[in-house]
């Protein structure tokens, strides 16, 4: 994707702002955060914990993908030698 295409696709996305309560992003067109505005304090704590767990899982998955890419790259390099 070219730089111009990146700017074009970003311009089509709605503007986002960060919620002070849950720290997640939501569209500026909304008055309240669609993630946490209807949640109690305990439910908010659960949402934050679940989001943190998701971030950790994504990080672990990324490490596995990087390891797989290194292994495939090494095999390809050995094949050409």
pLDDT, averaged across the chain: 89
Q: For residue range 18-46, what is the model confidence (pLDDT) as tens digits?
A: 999 999 999 999 999 999 999 999 999 99
Percent of residues in the chain assigned helix, strand, coil, to nearest 5: 60, 5, 30
Q: How much is the pTM?
A: 0.64
CA dist list (Å): 35 to 3, 44, 45: 32, 9, 12
Quick one: which of 19, 14, 47, 46 has its CA closest to 31?
Answer: 19
Q: For residue range 11-23, what is the model confidence (pLDDT) as tens digits?
A: 777 889 999 999 9
pLDDT reading at 47 higher than 90:
yes
As a whole number of Å, the end-to-end CA separation of the chain is: 32
Band of pLDDT at residue 80, cut at 50, 70 and 90: confident
């Amino acid at each position: 994707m070219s730089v111009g295409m990146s700017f074009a696709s970003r311009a089509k996305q709605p503007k986002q702002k960060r919620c002070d309560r849950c720290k997640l992003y939501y569209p500026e067109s909304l008055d309240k955060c669609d993630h946490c505005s209807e949640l109690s304090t305990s439910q908010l704590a659960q949402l934050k914990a679940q989001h943190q767990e998701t971030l950790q899982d994504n990080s672990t998955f990324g490490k596995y993908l990087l390891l797989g890419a290194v292994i495939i790259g090494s095999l390809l390099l050995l094949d050409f030698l």
